C-alpha cells in the first residue's frame, strides 16, 4: 500500500545516537524535525559505549592537558582547531547533560574520574560502572521526547540522499515493515549514522554499523577523509560461540594485565606504558603475541583486583562474561582485537558542514579532524555531544536561507526505478568481512591491499543497481565503504597510528602529514541535473589539492 502523504519536516536527522539526538534538540528550536532510525532506536553504537566520556572537569585536569593528550594519541594528524573546540566546549556539554538528569558515578560526593590508556590524567566520567553510553542516550532521548517538534520514525532505513540543484534537500527512505520507498524533503539534513565496523569479520560494533551514512554521502558527492584509519580495540571477548564483546579499556585503567598463553605479562616489552599504551600499539602487540605463540587470543587478567571491586566497577561485563561461563573474578578472559571505530568519514568543518551544501554530519560518521590517526579513548561520546550541537546550530543557520524543495520530479523517478535483489546477500556480506579482516586489517601490506581492492572491484557490478530490501542495501553500503578504506590504505605509503603497513613500517616518510580524500566523478545525466556515478576518482592531500593516484572505484 503506497504512502499517501509523507510527513513534512524542515530538518532530517539520520541516526539516533548521541550526536543525532543532540543535533535534533537544537534543530527543534527552529523547525520541525524528523529523526530516521534504522531498526530499533536502542541499537545505536552509543548505547553500547562502556568506558565513559572524557572531559576536563577534575581538579587535577584542564583543557590544555586534554588537548595535548588527544593530539599526541592522534600521532600528529589531528586538526588542532577541532580538538580545541572539543576540549573547550566539552565541559559545558557535560554540565548541560547533568542538568538534564544524567547520573555519573561518584565517590565521596565527588565525580569518580577514571583513567584510560594514553590519558595523562584521570578524566573519564562513567555511569553505572560500564554503562555510560546507555545513560547519556537515556537522558538525551527523554529530553527529545519532551520536544513536540521532534518526530521519530523508527524502522526506517535511509537509502540515499536527495541532491537537487547542487544541494542536499532530502532523503530516499525505506519503510522496513511495508517495504515501501519514498522521499522526505528537508531544508537541511544531519547525518549521525555511526561507523562501519561490520565491514570486518570481528568487530565490537552492533550489527547495524554498516557504514550507511558514509556510503550515501559519498554517492551524493560529499568528500570522505582519512578512511584508512580504522581503530581496532585491543580487547574484545574471544569465544568461538559468541560474537566479539567489548571489554572496556577501563579494565586496564584499573590495573588489568594482558598475558600471553605462557601467563607472561608482555606489554612492557612493547611500550613503556605497558597495558596503558595507546590502542593502536596495544592491538598490534597482542597481534604479535598471538602470532608468536600461534594462538587465536591472549588473556586479560583482572582477578587480582578483587571480586567485589570487579563486580561493582564492571557489572555489565561481569554479567555478560558469566553468561558465557567465564567468571572474570576468578578466570583470565580470552581476548583478541576487533574493529572498533572509524577515525575517518565524511569530511566536515568545525560546524559539521560537509562539502555538499545542505548536508551536515556529526559523530563517528564524520571526520571532524578530532581523532587524527588514532582516537584517544573515550573522546567519541564527547565528540558526539559537542559536534552534534554544532551541526544542529549550523543547519539551522543554513535552513534560514532555504525553502522546502519541490521534489516531485525525484518522486516520479523513484516510482519508475526498478528494484533488484542480490543472489546471496549473506554469502557476499561474509565474504566481504573476511576479505577486509584478512587483507585490510590490523597489519596491512601493498600485496594484501592490491588483492583486496581487486576483489572489491569485482563486486562492483553487483552493487551498482537499486535494491529493494534493507539487507541488500546494507551490503551495497558495506562494499562501497570497504572499497574506500582499502583504496585509502593503499594510497598511504607509511605507517602511522591505526594504519600499519608491514612493507612500509616507517612513520615519517615524505608527505606523511597529508590526508587521504576520496570523491566521486560527476557526469551529466540528461538535461535536468547532475548525478554521481559513485567512482573513486582521486585520492589527494587537502593541503595541496593535488591529484593523487587514480584508481577505478565503485559504480
Three-state SS for 321-375 is HHHCCCCCCCCCEEEEEEEEEECCEEECCCCCECCCCCEEECCCCEECCCCCCCC
Q: State phi, psi for 237 to the nearest 5 degrees.
A: -55, 130
What gap in Å lies between CA 225 and CA 484, rounded to an integer?
10
Q: What is the pTM of this model?
A: 0.90
| Structural domain boundaries, residue 469 | 417-539
Is residue 433 domain-shared with residue 326, that is, in the same domain? no
Catalytic center residues: 279
Q: State phi, psi for 99 to the nearest 5 degrees.
A: -60, -30
- DSSP for 126-161, please give it: -STTT-HHHHHHHHHHHHHHT-TTEEEEESEEEEEE
Residue with cell 581523532: 371
Is residue 432 domain-shared with residue 535, that is, in the same domain? yes
In a domain, 46, yes or no: no
4 close to 160: Cβ distance less than 8 angstroms: no
H-assigned helices in 100-230: 132-145, 212-220
Of 82, 16, 66, 9, give the one whose Cα is nearest residue 343.
82
How many folded domains does the chain comprise?
Answer: 2
Question: Coil, helix or strand for 263?
Answer: coil
What gap in Å lies between CA 513 and CA 542, rounded to an integer?
10
Per-residue pLDDT of the chain (555 residues; tens, 9 = 90+): 355 577 889 999 999 999 999 999 999 999 999 999 998 877 666 655 556 899 999 889 999 999 999 999 999 999 999 999 999 999 999 999 999 999 999 888 899 998 887 898 999 999 887 778 889 999 999 999 999 999 999 999 999 999 999 999 999 999 999 999 999 999 999 999 999 999 999 999 989 999 999 999 999 999 999 999 999 999 999 998 777 888 988 899 899 999 999 999 999 999 999 998 888 899 999 999 999 999 999 999 999 999 999 999 999 899 999 999 999 999 999 999 999 999 999 999 999 999 999 999 999 999 999 999 999 989 999 999 999 999 999 999 999 999 888 898 888 888 888 788 888 899 999 999 999 999 999 999 999 999 999 999 988 777 888 888 999 999 999 999 999 999 999 999 999 999 999 999 998 888 899 999 999 864 222 222 233 333 444 454 443 232 233 232 322
**The total number of residues written for the chain in this structure:** 555
Is residue 427 domain-shared with residue 531, that is, in the same domain? yes
In a domain, 428, yes or no: yes
In a domain, 96, yes or no: no
Of 255, 21, 253, 233, give the one whose Cα is nearest residue 126.
253
What gap in Å lies between CA 414 and CA 468, rounded to an integer?
12
Q: Which residues contact 145 (CB under 8 A, 6 or more apart)?
A: none
Of 286, 206, 280, give the one whose Cα is nearest residue 243.
206
First-to-last CA distance in the chain?
31
CATH number at residue 250: 3.90.700.10
Of 11, 8, 4, give the one whose Cα is nearest residue 35.
11
What gap in Å lies between CA 436 and CA 246, rounded to an integer?
20
CATH number at residue 463: 1.20.58.100
Is residue 423 domain-shared with residue 334, that is, in the same domain? no
Is residue 512 domain-shared with residue 421, that is, in the same domain? yes
Q: In what order do the strands lie in the sheet with 156-164?
A: 156-164, 167-175, 181-185
What gap in Å lies between CA 302 and CA 255, rounded to an integer?
7
In a domain, 167, yes or no: no
Question: What would you report as the CA-atom Rg of the chain, rounded to the nearest whole angstrom?
Answer: 22
Is residue 422 domain-shared with residue 325, that is, in the same domain? no
Alpha-carbon distance values, 176 to 159, 173, 182, 418, 468 (Å): 11, 9, 12, 18, 10
Question: Coil, helix or strand for 169?
Answer: strand
Q: Identify the H or E element spanning 102.
A: none
Q: How many CB atoms lie within 10 A of CB 255?
A: 13
In a domain, 224, yes or no: no
Residue with cell 520514525: 153
Is residue 422 domain-shared with residue 534, that is, in the same domain? yes
Q: Give the pairing of strands 181-185 and 167-175.
A: antiparallel
Question: Coil, helix or strand for 537?
Answer: strand
Is residue 445 domain-shared with residue 332, that is, in the same domain? no
Query: Which residues pair with residue 299 across a beta bridge?
Result: 259, 334
Predicted confidence at residue 241, as pLDDT, reads: 73
What gap in Å lies between CA 497 and CA 76, rounded to an integer?
9
In a domain, 485, yes or no: yes
DSSP state of 453: H
What gap in Å lies between CA 128 and CA 318, rounded to an integer?
13
Predicted confidence at residue 243, as pLDDT, reads: 77
Query: Which residues pair with residue 496 across a beta bridge?
Result: 499
In a domain, 37, yes or no: no
Q: State phi, psi for 529 to the nearest 5 degrees.
A: -155, 170
In a domain, 534, yes or no: yes
* Domain-terminating residue out of 275, 304, 338: 338
Predicted confidence at residue 464, as pLDDT, reads: 80
Is residue 422 domain-shared with residue 519, that is, in the same domain? yes
Is residue 421 domain-shared with residue 534, that is, in the same domain? yes
Alpha-carbon distance values, 437 to 66, 68, 455, 461, 488 (Å): 32, 32, 13, 22, 16
Predicted confidence at residue 530, as pLDDT, reads: 31
Amino acid at each position: 500500500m503506497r504512502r499517501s502523504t509523507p510527513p513534512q519536516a524542515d530538518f532530517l536527522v539520520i541516526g539516533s545516537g548521541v550526536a543525532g539526538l543532540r543535533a535534533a534538540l537544537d534543530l527543534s528550536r527552529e523547525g520541525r524535525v524528523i529523526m530516521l532510525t534504522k531498526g530499533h532506536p536502542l541499537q545505536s553504537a552509543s548505547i553500547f559505549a562502556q568506558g565513559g566520556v572524557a572531559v576536563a572537569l577534575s581538579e587535577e585536569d584542564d583543557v590544555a592537558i586534554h588537548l595535548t593528550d588527544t593530539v599526541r594519541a592522534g600521532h600528529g594528524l589531528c586538526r588542532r582547531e577541532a580538538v580545541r573546540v572539543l576540549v573547550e566546549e566539552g565541559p559545558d556539554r557535560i554540565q548541560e547533560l547533568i542538568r538534564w538528569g544524567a547520573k555519573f558515578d561518584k565517590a565521596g560526593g565527588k565525580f569518580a574520574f577514571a583513567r584510560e590508556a594514553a590519558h595523562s590524567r584521570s578524566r573519564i566520567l562513567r555511569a553505572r560502572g560500564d554503562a555510560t553510553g546507555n545513560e547519556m542516550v537515556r537522558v538525551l532521548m527523554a529530553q527529545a521526547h519532551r520536544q513536540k517538534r521532534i518526530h521519530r520514525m523508527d524502522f526506517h532505513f535511509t537509502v540515499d540522499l536527495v541532491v537537487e540543484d547542487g544541494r542536499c534537500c532530502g532523503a530516499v527512505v525505506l519503510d522496513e515493515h511495508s517495504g515501501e520507498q519514498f522521499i522526505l524533503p528537508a531544508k537541511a539534513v544531519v547525518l549521525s549514522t555511526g561507523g562501519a565496523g561490520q565491514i570486518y569479520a570481528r568487530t565490537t560494533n552492533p550489527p547495524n554499523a554498516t557504514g550507511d551514512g558514509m556510503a550515501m554521502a559519498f554517492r551524493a558527492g560529499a568528500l570522505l577523509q582519512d578512511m584508512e584509519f580504522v581503530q581496532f580495540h585491543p580487547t574484545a571477548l574471544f569465544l568461538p560461540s559468541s560474537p566479539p564483546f567489548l571489554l572496556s579499556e577501563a579494565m586496564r585503567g584499573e590495573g588489568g594485565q594482558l598475558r600471553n598463553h605462557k601467563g607472561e605479562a608482555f606489554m612492557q616489552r612493547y611500550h613503556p606504558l605497558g597495558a596503558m599504551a595507546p590502542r593502536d600499539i596495544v592491538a598490534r602487540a597482542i597481534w604479535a603475541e598471538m602470532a608468536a605463540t600461534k594462538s587465536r587470543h591472549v588473556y586479560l587478567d583482572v582477578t587480582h583486583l578483587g571480586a567485589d571491586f570487579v563486580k561493582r566497577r564492571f557489572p555489565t561485563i561481569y554479567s555478560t562474561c558469566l553468561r558465557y561461563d567465564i567468571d572474570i573474578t576468578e578466570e583470565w578472559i580470552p581476548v583478541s582485537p576487533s574493529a572498533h571505530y572509524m577515525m575517518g568519514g565524511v569530511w566536515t568543518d568545525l560546524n559539521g558542514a560537509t562539502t555538499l551544501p545542505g548536508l551536515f554530519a556529526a559523530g563517528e560518521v564524520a571526520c571532524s579532524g578530532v581523532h587524527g590517526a588514532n582516537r584517544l579513548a573515550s573522546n567519541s561520546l564527547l565528540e558526539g555531544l559537542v559536534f552534534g550541537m554544532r551541526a544542529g546550530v549550523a543547519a539551522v543557520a543554513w535552513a534560514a536561507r532555504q525553502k522546502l524543495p519541490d521534489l516531485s520530479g525525484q518522486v516520479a523517478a523513484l516510482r519508475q526505478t526498478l528494484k533488484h535483489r542480490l543472489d546471496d546477500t549473506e554469502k557476499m556480506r561474509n565474504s566481504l568481512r573476511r576479505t577486509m579482516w584478512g587483507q585490510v586489517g590490523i597489519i596491512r601490506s601493498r600485496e594484501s591491499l592490491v588483492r583486496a581492492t581487486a576483489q572489491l572491484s569485482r563486486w562492483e557490478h553487483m552493487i551498482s543497481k537499486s535494491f529493494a530490501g534493507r539487507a541488500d542495501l546494507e551490503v551495497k553500503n558495506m562494499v562501497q565503504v570497504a572499497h574506500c578504506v582499502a583504496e585509502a590504505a593503499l594510497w598511504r605509503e607509511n605507517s602511522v597510528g591505526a594504519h600499519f603497513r608491514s612493507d612500509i613500517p616507517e612513520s615519517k616518510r615524505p608527505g606523511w602529514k597529508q590526508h587521504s580524500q576520496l570523491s566521486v566523478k560527476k557526469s551529466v545525466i540528461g538535461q535536468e541535473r547532475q548525478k554521481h556515478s559513485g567512482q573513486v576518482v582521486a585520492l589527494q592531500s587537502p593541503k595541496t589539492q593535488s591529484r593523487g593516484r587514480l584508481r577505478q572505484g565503485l559504480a
